[in-house]
Amino acid sequence: MRSLHLNWRREALYVTLVAAEMCWFTPWSLVIRQRAEALAPYGMALSLGLLVLAVIYSCRILGRLQIDLLYQRVLLIVAVVVSIPLVIHVVLYPSYGWFDLSWLGKAKGSLLSFQTLPPEAGAFALALFLWWRGISIGQRTLNFQGVTFSFRLGVLLVAFSAPLLPIPAAYHFATFIVLFFFFSLLAVALARVEEVNLAKGGVGAPFNFSWLGIVLGSIAAVLVVAGLISRVYSIEGFSQALRWLQPVLVPLLRAVELVLLLLLWLLSPILMWLFRMLQQVVDVLADNIEGLEPLESLAPEDFTRPVPIESPLWIGALRYICLSVVIAGILAILALMLRQRRERQRRGDEIRESLWSSAVFTDGVLNSLRHGWGRLQDLAALMGQFGPGMRLYAAVSIRKIYANMARLAERQGFPRQPAQTPYEYLPVLGLAFPDCQAEAVAITEAYVKVHYGEVPESIGDLQCIREYWQRIQSSYKNVKRET
């Protein structure tokens, strides 16, 4: 058997990916359970997540066991068969004890009723879906691009799920949304450092638990900020803002209303014809669906809550053994971490020292303020030169385009020397962008003109300069791709 190399960041990446998926998926799985009062969403998310993790690790371990593919498949099928009743139990019959199998009879009765689509069938499909997700994640190469793709897809799924979920499930969805962003950001951060770490040479991985602490703190801070913003950026906040804007909005809406009424009056003959057509179509459809049952008959039959049975003594003992094993495991991990840390300190190949001092910090803040003040002065000077409005916008845009072009040239190894004038720098720009020499000349000319108070006369001229800059950018990208 090949050894299973455990890298805590990679394992944490699996856990966070699964957690993020469960965050958008659990509210949907709650829909299967039709009794709103029995909902326990967080416990259910945890159970489903553990199942997916179990699938992932089973796949990984089976992949490393050098056994025949046929045996591997048989083992997987057995695992699937065992896990499906477990999922049905967790989702639909959580009040039954783990060793009370009386719910099986109920589930069988429900499955064999054939009158409606039973919730057990939904739970069955859910179990299969979880297996598919587990196998899919377990076999994936966890690179940065893949993880960010999952994040983007997850955001879209969350956005689409939000208005579609029924009320009881949607009630808990806000918490799941926040948790989704928490786990997704953590997953992206882990994927990024894994990618960086794969390419690195040098001593010891710098992405340790201290790094994890900073990342977790940053994510928590960002989510807290988002929470504070959401107090204002909400339906109530917008309603309040609209109330404040009522004196302006009411006449505006009145005017829009009048325009719309006028349009409707003008379009009324066409609209009346369309309505008549639609009515005919609806009449034809209504004749075809008369034979269907009313929705009330689809409700499931009520069932009595089973009496919990007293668990035997050995189960209590087993619980204590499990608890002891978990504590021992945690202690072992702590001891291992301490040993690794001591070893790193003994090796002494990486030295960390704090540069913090109040003087340095004050200097930094003062420098930043000075820099900001300088930029403001610069902007004020521009405003004084060109006045507020289109001319200022054009001047700022051209200066920015020139600065970006110089930065791009510097990135290619052609920096502008402090004493170099734009015209002296122009031949160097020609070397940096050999395919876009005319564009570089045009941008430099525009920059020099702005310096002496001339700006493009029209939006079209400015757009032309922008296009030159875009051409330079695309040329740079092409060169980069080729090399």
Partner 1 sequence: MSRITIDYDKETQFSEAWIALAVMLTIFGFVFRQRNLMLVAVLLLTIVPIAWLWNKLALSGLRYERIFSERRAFQGETLELTLRVSNWKLLPMGWLQIEDQFPLDVPLLGEELLTSQSSSFGYLSTAFSLRWYERVSRRYRLDCPRRGFYRFGPAHLKSGDIFGLFSQEGWQQEVDWLIVYPKVVPIAQLGLLSKEPFGETKARQRIFEDPMRTVGVREHQPEDSFRHIHWKATARQQRLQARVYEPTTSFNLIIFLNVATFPKHWQGTDPVLLERAISVAASIASYSAGQRYTVGVMANGSVPHSDQPIKVLPSRDPKQLARILEALAAVTGFATSSIENLLLVESPKLPWGATLVVVTGVVSEELVVTLLRLRDVGRRLVLVSLDQKPPDQELEGILCYHIPGVEIDFRPPSRRGEVRGEFVQGRQAVETFTRLGG
CA 378/CA 381 separation, integer angstroms: 5
Answer yes or no whether residue 354 interacts with partner 1 by CB under 8 A: yes
Answer yes or no whether residue 181 interacts with partner 1 by CB under 8 A: yes
Which is nearer to partner 1, 331 or 360 (by Cβ)? 360
Residue 429: C-alpha distances to residues 6, 278, 411, 435, 437 (Å) = 50, 65, 12, 11, 7
Which is nearer to partner 1, 54 or 428 (by Cβ)? 428
Binding test (CB under 8 A) with partner 1, winner from 250, 337, 360, 431? 360
In the range 247-286, which residues lie near partner 1 by CB under 8 A?
none
Which is nearer to partner 1, 254 or 347 (by Cβ)? 347
CA atoms within 13 A on the CB side of 278: 6
480 phi/psi in degrees, rounded to 5? -65, -40
CA 446/CA 473 separation, integer angstroms: 18
Q: Count of CB atoms within 10 A of residue 255's CB?
A: 10
26 and 48 Cβ atoms separated by less than 8 Å: yes
32 and 126 Cβ atoms separated by less than 8 Å: yes
Q: Which stretch binds partner 1 (CB under 8 A): 6-14, 30-38, 207-215, 434-442?
A: 207-215
Answer yes or no whether residue 167 interacts with partner 1 by CB under 8 A: no
Among candidate residues 185, 168, 195, the one with its CA nearest the CA of residue 33? 168
CA 233/CA 236 separation, integer angstroms: 8
CA 303/CA 308 separation, integer angstroms: 15
Answer yes or no whether residue 310 interacts with partner 1 by CB under 8 A: no
Answer yes or no whether residue 10 interacts with partner 1 by CB under 8 A: no
Answer yes or no whether residue 353 interacts with partner 1 by CB under 8 A: yes
Task: Write the single-letter amino acid at 171.
Answer: Y
For the stretch 99-108, contacts whose Cβ atoms lie closer than 8 Å and that sit 24 or more positions apart, written own/partner, are 99/309, 99/311, 99/315, 100/306, 100/308, 100/309, 102/306, 103/306, 106/303
49 and 90 Cβ atoms separated by less than 8 Å: no
CB of 215 to partner 1, least distance (A): 6
215 and 260 Cβ atoms separated by less than 8 Å: no
Which is nearer to partner 1, 159 or 274 (by Cβ)? 159
Answer yes or no whether residue 225 interacts with partner 1 by CB under 8 A: yes
Answer yes or no whether residue 344 interacts with partner 1 by CB under 8 A: no
Which is nearer to partner 1, 63 or 217 (by Cβ)? 217
Q: Which stretch binds partner 1 (CB under 8 A): 30-38, 44-52, 411-419, 434-442?
A: 411-419
CB of 122 to partner 1, least distance (A): 23
Binding test (CB under 8 A) with partner 1, winner from 10, 60, 192, 449? 192
Binding site for partner 1 (CB under 8 A): 144-146, 148-149, 151-152, 155, 158-159, 162-163, 170, 173-174, 177-178, 181, 185, 188-189, 191-193, 196-197, 199-203, 205-208, 210-211, 214-215, 218-219, 222-223, 225-226, 229-230, 233-235, 238, 349-357, 360-361, 364, 410-411, 413, 415, 481
